[in-house]
Structure 1
Amino acid sequence: MAKSLLVAAIMQPVIRVVGYSLRSTRNDRHKIDSILVLGTAQYDGVPSRQFAARLRHTAKLWRLHEIQHVFTVGGKLPGDRFTEAEVAREYLVKEGVDPDLIFVSAKGNDTASSFKALDPQTVGRVLIVTDPNHSYRAIRIARSIGFDAQPSPTPYSPAKFPSKVYFLTLTHEWGGVVVQDVARLFGARAADMVEEMLRSIQGLLRPSRRARHEQLRRLKK
């Protein structure tokens, strides 16, 4: 019985993440006011493959109607010259998106803080563009803050099943959902403890994530 409960507790967040990664809301111009693309790694102004995949999908969505506002979000890590939001804007302009319809919010070092820097009323009914495995958690966070948010995960993500990067991102999102569930059931303090433990494990497995972890710790103090 105990083993069954443990397996269920582990698998349930995975099922939610994978199931939601297959959902994509149609970009109906009569129902969708804007498109919001979440930032991720960029290297001195050049978006990572993961980031470029999000931006490519964003540009394609915008070109369907060429009227919707596009919100680019995301700050920068210490030592970076460019913010994620600025890099996103430059990419989208080169892809033909009207610069007058792009709104840059160069704030936030994680999904929640990026959303909190914006006013849900200003954004309106919005398509959230991110990676498939990140879509469930991103929409969950957006809606908890007050956004009328719908998913539009990029189909161009390099994290394809059954690649190593797919399972790395899936593991990361599993951890994020677990933290959300713990916060809902046991409160913020317990969630912070679980989050710190999972970050320590991730830092050992993926040293490239440590700088972002340190930045998030500093901002929380």
Structure 2
Amino acid sequence: MKRLFMLLFWIGFLYVAYIGYSIWTFEGEERLESTDAAIVLGAAAYHDKPSPVLRERVNHAVKLYEKGDVDHIIFTGGKGDGAPFAESEVARDYAVDMGIPKQNTFVDMTSKITEGNIINAKLIGQEQGFEDYTLVSDPLHMKRSMAIANQINLDVEASPTKTSAYQSLETRVPFFLREWGFYFLYKGSIVIPDNWKPDDWVPVNR
């Protein structure tokens, strides 16, 4: 019995360690052909300015657009508590100031967490007739984000930002530990009604 317990313990330990390693080293694969839209996952905005994290995600999506790798950009993220603007609005305005045509951008105004970001982006894409996507976020955020996107059957490729604001160990480690924990909380937790729409999304388990 003791040997069985130790075997199960080490199997569990190695699985948890493997997930942590895969989050830390996740890079994704570059799609060789362009996609209909980049989905920029939300991050904090400071009034009408993007935070350093959000700014670098937008910069990466802008580069994809300018290279012809994506035809449109979907910005996600609603308003934080007391915030005058949604994260997606701030991100979109920043991209437009960089020369992205406003008519080729879309905003999700209601989501508060990653699951909501991706679900609402899917609805926007369905309304526009988009078929495939490029997902943009920080490298440490990618494994869980791709798992969510795959669960809701998005045809999507990961494109982690090369200029993440999480560069030092002091910033990377806390974000990594957060993602490590959230990955296990998330796993298999999304249930989407057939007739869902953005206003129906209510965060759970967060």
TM-score, structure 2 normalization: 0.81
**Are 1:23 and 2:28 an aligned pair?**
yes
Q: Deviations over 1:111-132 (max 9, x none)?
A: 1112222325334210000000
> Which of residues 29, 53, 61 is equivalent to 1:50?
53
CA RMSD across the alignment: 2.4
SS of structure 1 residue aligned to 2:106: strand
Q: How big is each residue's C-alpha offset from its partner over 1:177-204, in whole Å with a ceiling of 9 and x where there is no partner?
A: 11134x47xx99xxxxxxxxxxxxxxxx
Q: CA deviation at 1:6?
A: 4.4
Q: Is the 8 A contact 1:27 1:61 kept in 2?
A: no
Q: For residue 27 of structure 1, report the CA deviation from its aligned partner.
A: 5.7
Taking a change above 3 Å as real, the CA distance of residues 24 and 49 of structure 1, as seen in their structure-2 partners, is farther
* Unaligned ranges ≥5, structure 2: 1-5, 192-201
Aligned equivalents of 2:93, 2:170: Cα separation in 1: 30
Secondary structure at the aligned position of 1:33 is classed as: strand
The structure with more helix, counted as a fraction of residues: 1
**Quick check: 1:38–1:74 contact (8 Å CA) kept in 2?**
yes
Structure 1 runs not aligned, ≥5 long: 189-217
Q: How many residues align?
A: 185
| Aligned AA (1:139) | M
Higher relative CO (CA 8 A, sep ≥ 6), structure 1 or 2? 2
Identity of aligned residues (%): 26
Specify the alignment match of 1:100 in structure 2. Answer: 103
Give the residue type in structure 2 aligned to 1:11: A
| Letter paired with 2:178 | H
Give the direction of change, closer, same or farther, for the CA distance of 1:85–1:144 in structure 2 (3 Å limit).
same
Q: In the alignment, which residue of structure 2 is the partner of 1:136?
A: 143
| 1:78 alignment partner in structure 2 | 81
- Name the residue aligned to 1:109: 112
Instruction: From the superposition, tell whether residues 45 and 23 of structure 1 become closer, same or farther in structure 2 (CA, over 3 Å).
Output: same
124 and 8 in structure 1: CA distance in 2 versus 1, 3 angstrom threshold:
same
TM-score w.r.t. the length of structure 1 is 0.76
